[in-house]
Amino acid sequence: MTLAEPECGLVISYSYLWRHEYKAGKVEGAKNRPSAIILVVKTEDNSQKVTVAPITHTPPYSSDIAILH
């Protein structure tokens, strides 16, 4: 299976690591969840850095750190 080229707005399945999981010492999220690619940056060596945001039904505890629709 060929992976799609990362682009903004693409929804992927990703093992998103929540902050509380990271603070508990985990290195990978507990489960795969839908996540949106929100930023793709090409570096000088032609690799890519991709930033994702989880898509969730739970409201954020602070709207200052969320993308609300």
Q: What is the pLDDT of residues 6-58, one digit of tens each?
A: 999 999 999 989 888 999 999 999 999 999 999 999 999 999 999 998 898 88
Task: Show the domain range for 41.
Answer: 11-57
37-55 burial, b for 16+ CB within 10 Å, e for fewer? beeeeeeeeeeeeeebeee
Whether 16 is in a domain gets the answer yes
Whether 50 is in a domain gets the answer yes
How many C-beta atoms lie closer than 10 Å to residue 34's C-beta? 13
CA distance 61 to 13: 23
Whether 68 is in a domain gets the answer no
Taking the model in full, what pTM does it have?
0.74
Q: How many domains does the chain have?
A: 1
How many C-beta atoms lie closer than 10 Å to residue 21's C-beta? 14
Whether 3 is in a domain gets the answer no
